[in-house]
Structure 1
Amino acid sequence: MIEEIKKKLRMATGAALKASRLNDEQYEDLRDIYDMVAGKNSFSISEIEAITTELGRLRKA
């Protein structure tokens, strides 16, 4: 899921988000983000920033 999110958002800093840094408790949150990203064809800059912020929050949790 993480690789698909990074590809879809064309994240330049995709290396900052690694599946190994997420634990099982965060799966539902990650799945919600994945479903939202997979359902859209394009994103505004503010949407990308919000998604990236949320992914960063998951990584730090």
Structure 2
Amino acid sequence: MDLSVCNRENIEFMLEEIKKKLQIVNAGALKAKSFETDKYEDLKDIYDLVQRQNNFSVSELDAIVSELGKLRK
């Protein structure tokens, strides 16, 4: 999968991977259709950050979820 390409499929993939890695309980809040393609680079940055780390503190989780919330339309 080429995540350098901005498309709906990649947005869905990245969000699913973020939800899995962070073990987000309320996964319904992160629906791909709630994210515009003009925010793709910001979402990709968050995805890259989440993939690099193995463990997250509570404050890191809060910050990541907060940033994802800001990207939603």
TM-score (norm 2): 0.80
| Displacement after TM superposition at 1:14 (Å) | 1.1
1:43 aligns with 56
Equivalent position of 1:16 in the other structure: 29
| 2:70 corresponds to which of 37, 57, 60 | 57
Could you tell me which runs of 5 or more consecutive residues in structure 2 were left unpaired when the two chains were aligned: 1-13
CA distance in 1, matches of 2:37, 2:72: 12
Relative contact order higher in (CA < 8 Å, ≥ 6 apart): 1
Taking only aligned residues, the RMSD between alpha carbons, in angstroms, comes to 0.7
Partner of 2:42: 29
Pair member with larger Rg: 2
Structure 2 letter corresponding to 1:58 = L
TM-score scaled to structure 1, two decimals? Answer: 0.94
Task: Name structure 1 gaps, 5 residues minimum.
Answer: none
